[in-house]
Amino acid sequence: MAEGQRMTAARGAVEEIMRSEHADVLRESVALVVREIMEAEVVEQIGAELGERAPETRSAQRNGYRSRRWDTRVGEIELAIPKLRSGSYFPSFLEPRKRSEQALVAVVQEAYVNGVSTRKVDRLVEQLGLRGMSKDQVSRLCRGLDEQVRVFRERELEGAHPYLWLDAKVERVREPGGVRQKALVLAYGVHETGRREVLGLDVGEAESEAFWREFLRSLRARGLRGVRLCVSDAHEGLRSAIGQVLGCPWQRCTVHFTRDMLGHVAKAQQPLVSGAIRQLFHAADGDEARERLAQVVDQLAAPAPKVAELLEAAEDDLLAFYAFPREHWSKLRSTNPLERVNREIGRRSDVIGIFPNNAALIRLAGALLLEQNDEWLVARRYLSQESLSVVAQTQPEHTYKEIAKEVTALAA
């Protein structure tokens, strides 16, 4: 009966719209439809119509309405969203965007309204129906996202993080006088409980030692401790900064090293070189890996002398992961575990092309990393807590060879 009354009221509203010579029929029709959708969804959620006595099926009482503006292609519609005394209701047609999607839209809008967008951004504005946004509207959206990202970036780091990965991406940012390349630096870690965590991000002028040193010090100031191994590519100045600030062993990314070595030989020699280097990372233990490395250096001395020289010099950096528990090796020998996250950042930054400012770059990357961090917190452990407890008992100031002895003794 209540549903019949609702339909009768709806028909009356339609007739009223059609009779009015000043009504915006399309917008009013959309408003009517979404009002009925909300009413139907609330009825289904709480198990009772508005005003209906249904103690056996009703799960919650209504508590008035809250207003919300909804921008549509037919104009702005003022919604009256039902509130509940217990629980909450959110209309299905207003499915909230993920934080990362909001950030992407915010950066697109900011570039557009400030007149610094590319043709690619202009096309995206048209496709998303974002044309007509005011600077004030864009600023409000940006402020909300920036506050969330700021809290995330400045939060205190609790507990120990035995493993730390550092990476950097080059992005283009518009500044007065032109477009400059900036380094977006990222820090990920494995917490002592075995879960992955995004520890920090920042934007700098270049991947210099001074910039990396400042970034690592900011992590230490927020509580980063207990790092036993740092994994990264051979970024300029990074290794020195790790030694000065963290004082822990460094693992050079084996994937990037292998890729770099292929640039020193002819294409015909690349299968030989890559195959010889890869076997070093699948040895039974560190001693066997070092024996293999010596053999590979001898093997490549004649056909690829430059590779043999670089490989011999990088022995400690490439084989540091063997000092740690065996079940960690595949995770520690490269930065590949982070590639999916980096691809997601890259996919979104490709849409933008050129960021309007540093804040826009941090907003987009920070929102995406905040979501990734939330996923990691509820996902299964990346490494077992038991195996990490062995790593935590080693001495942080020891070299990887000394740590290897400690791990072996503690695991026995």
Q: Three-state secondary structure along 179-240?
A: EEEEEEEEEEEECCCCCEEEEEEEEECCCCHHHHHHHHHHHHHCCCCCCCEEEECCCCCHHH
DSSP state of 74: T
Q: Which amino acid is at 295?
A: Q
pLDDT at residue 277, rounded to an integer: 95
pLDDT at residue 14, rounded to an integer: 44
Cα dihedral 155, 156, 159, 164 sign:
positive
Question: What is the distance between the alpha carbons of residues 332 and 229, in angstroms, rounded to a whole number?
Answer: 9
Q: Count of alpha carbons within 13 Å of 26, Cβ hemisphere only? A: 5
Q: Which amino acid is at 47?
A: G
pLDDT at residue 17, rounded to an integer: 43
Inter-residue contact 269 to 304 (CB < 8 Å): yes
390-408 average pLDDT score: 66
pLDDT at residue 22, rounded to an integer: 45
331-349 average pLDDT score: 83
Mapped onto helix, strand or coil, the DSSP state of residue 175 is strand
Which residues, including other chains, have CB under 8 Å from residue 346's CB and lie 6 or more apart?
A: 169
Helices 286-300 & 270-278, crossing angle to 10 degrees? 160
Strand-pair category, 229-232 with 62-72: unpaired
Question: What is the distance between the alpha carbons of residues 382 and 366, in angstroms, rounded to a whole number?
Answer: 22
Q: Which of 26-40, 127-141, 305-319 has the lowest mean pLDDT?
A: 127-141
Cα dihedral 238, 241, 243, 249 sign:
negative
For the chain, give the mean pLDDT: 81
- Higher model confidence: residue 278 or residue 57? 278
Q: Which of 99-108, 145-154, 219-228, 364-373 has the lowest mean pLDDT?
A: 99-108
pLDDT at residue 84, rounded to an integer: 85
Nearest CA-CA partner of 118 in 73, 179, 204, 177: 179
Q: Tokens representing 82?
A: 């039902």
Residue 121 in this model has a pLDDT that exceeds 60: no
336-348 average pLDDT score: 81
Q: What is the pLDDT of residues 194-248, one digit of tens each?
A: 999 999 999 988 778 999 999 999 999 999 999 999 999 988 789 899 999 999 9
DSSP state of 368: H
pLDDT at residue 59, rounded to an integer: 86
pLDDT at residue 33, rounded to an integer: 76
Neighbours of 197 (CB within 10 A): 19
For the 97-250+335-381 domain, the top CATH level (class) is alpha beta
Return phi, psi of residue 230, to 5°. Answer: -115, 130
Q: Which amino acid is at 206?
A: A
Q: What is the pLDDT of residues 159-191, one digit of tens each?
A: 999 999 999 889 999 888 888 999 999 999 999
